[in-house]
Amino acid sequence: MPAERLTAGARLLIAAGGLCGAAGVALSAVAAHAGGGNIATAASFLLVHAPAFLALACLPPLRAPRIGAYAILFGLVLFAGDLLTRHYLGGRLFPMAAPAGGFLMIAGWLVVGISALFRPSA
């Protein structure tokens, strides 16, 4: 699909996929050389979700899958952000940030999956 035909939502998800991929590779290198379980976990989550965002950007711009994708993205930011904040700053992003992020990722994936069971409205 030509870049000029992409929706703003698709562009956001492509950008998120690229940034998550780059951050995941960089954090994997840090974890391999400097150690740190939280860093490795954050890197894994970023790397797993990077191609997922690219795939979700390719879907037709339907409301439910897009909302699910945004929930996954926001959840990933909270989850990985909290793990990295714990490692580098010695504290939490805010209380329950990682569990809230995990919940949002799960809910987002459920929304994406369930949206395939329903016919989109015209």
Over the stretch 16-73, which tens digit does the pLDDT of each residue have?
999 999 999 999 999 999 888 899 999 999 999 999 999 999 998 899 999 999 999 9
Mean pLDDT score of the chain, rounded to an integer? 93
- Amino acid making up residue 80: A
Average pLDDT over every residue of 102-117: 96
Q: 39 and 62 in contact (C-beta within 8 Å)?
A: no
